Amino acid sequence: MAEFRLDCLGEACPVPLLKTQKKLANLKIGDLLIVEIDHSCAMKNVPEWARKEGHHVEIEETGDGEWEIYIEKTK
Protein backbone atom coordinates (compact mmCIF):
# COMPACT_ATOMS: atom_id res chain seq x y z
CA MET A 1 0.00 0.00 0.00
CA ALA A 2 2.60 2.53 -1.02
CA GLU A 3 1.65 5.97 -2.22
CA PHE A 4 3.29 7.65 -5.19
CA ARG A 5 2.93 11.12 -6.64
CA LEU A 6 3.38 11.99 -10.25
CA ASP A 7 3.87 15.65 -11.09
CA CYS A 8 2.45 16.43 -14.50
CA LEU A 9 1.81 20.11 -13.91
CA GLY A 10 2.47 22.09 -17.05
CA GLU A 11 2.41 19.02 -19.28
CA ALA A 12 0.04 19.07 -22.21
CA CYS A 13 -1.94 16.02 -23.03
CA PRO A 14 -1.12 13.28 -23.97
CA VAL A 15 2.06 13.49 -21.86
CA PRO A 16 0.33 13.04 -18.45
CA LEU A 17 -1.43 9.96 -19.76
CA LEU A 18 1.76 8.41 -21.10
CA LYS A 19 3.59 9.12 -17.84
CA THR A 20 0.71 7.63 -15.84
CA GLN A 21 0.69 4.50 -17.97
CA LYS A 22 4.44 4.02 -17.50
CA LYS A 23 4.39 4.76 -13.79
CA LEU A 24 1.40 2.57 -13.05
CA ALA A 25 3.00 -0.38 -14.80
CA ASN A 26 5.80 -0.31 -12.19
CA LEU A 27 3.51 -0.20 -9.18
CA LYS A 28 2.29 -3.14 -7.13
CA ILE A 29 -1.34 -4.06 -6.73
CA GLY A 30 -2.96 -1.97 -4.03
CA ASP A 31 -0.56 0.95 -4.49
CA LEU A 32 -1.98 4.41 -4.85
CA LEU A 33 -0.82 6.77 -7.54
CA ILE A 34 -1.65 10.45 -7.31
CA VAL A 35 -1.29 12.27 -10.61
CA GLU A 36 -1.17 16.05 -10.46
CA ILE A 37 -2.36 17.72 -13.64
CA ASP A 38 -3.40 21.14 -14.85
CA HIS A 39 -4.35 20.34 -18.43
CA SER A 40 -8.10 19.98 -18.72
CA CYS A 41 -7.79 17.39 -21.43
CA ALA A 42 -5.75 15.07 -19.22
CA MET A 43 -8.50 15.37 -16.65
CA LYS A 44 -10.63 13.44 -19.07
CA ASN A 45 -8.38 10.89 -20.70
CA VAL A 46 -6.30 9.80 -17.70
CA PRO A 47 -9.31 8.75 -15.57
CA GLU A 48 -11.02 7.28 -18.60
CA TRP A 49 -8.03 5.11 -19.42
CA ALA A 50 -7.51 4.05 -15.80
CA ARG A 51 -11.18 3.12 -15.34
CA LYS A 52 -11.10 1.15 -18.54
CA GLU A 53 -8.12 -0.75 -17.20
CA GLY A 54 -10.24 -1.57 -14.16
CA HIS A 55 -8.51 0.58 -11.51
CA HIS A 56 -10.27 2.62 -8.86
CA VAL A 57 -10.19 6.28 -9.83
CA GLU A 58 -11.11 9.47 -8.07
CA ILE A 59 -10.67 13.02 -9.29
CA GLU A 60 -10.39 16.07 -7.19
CA GLU A 61 -9.98 19.71 -8.11
CA THR A 62 -7.27 20.97 -5.77
CA GLY A 63 -7.07 24.50 -7.12
CA ASP A 64 -8.37 26.56 -9.99
CA GLY A 65 -7.60 24.43 -13.01
CA GLU A 66 -5.49 21.97 -11.03
CA TRP A 67 -6.54 18.45 -10.38
CA GLU A 68 -5.32 15.38 -8.57
CA ILE A 69 -6.27 12.00 -9.92
CA TYR A 70 -6.16 9.17 -7.41
CA ILE A 71 -5.60 5.82 -9.02
CA GLU A 72 -5.56 2.67 -6.92
CA LYS A 73 -3.96 -0.15 -8.83
CA THR A 74 -6.23 -3.14 -8.66
CA LYS A 75 -4.64 -5.56 -11.07
Partner 1 sequence: MQTNPTVTEKGTVRQRKKKKNQFPVAIVILAIVIWFAIILGQKSPRLALSWVFGIAFGVVLQKSRFCFTASFRDPVLTGSTSLTKAVIIALAVASVGFAAIQYGAVSKGLPVPGFVSPVGWHVAIGAVIFGIGMVISGGCASGTLMRVGEGFMMQWLSLLFFVVGALWGAHDYGWWKKVFIDGASGIHLPSVLGWPVAFVLQLLVLGLLYIVADQWGNRQKD
Catalytic residues: 13
Closer to partner 1 by Cβ: residue 28 or 52: 52
Q: Decide: is 36 part of the binding site for partner 1 (CB under 8 A).
A: no
- Cα 9 to Cα 30: distance, rounded to the nearest angstrom: 25
Q: What are the C-alpha distances in Å from 65 to residues 22, 24, 37, 38, 61?
A: 24, 24, 9, 6, 7
Choose among 3, 8, 5: nearest CA to 66. Answer: 8
Q: Which of 4, 23, 27, 32 binds partner 1 (CB under 8 A)?
A: 32
Site of interaction with partner 1 (CB under 8 A): 1, 3, 10-15, 17-18, 32, 34, 38-41, 43-45, 48-49, 52, 60-66, 70, 72
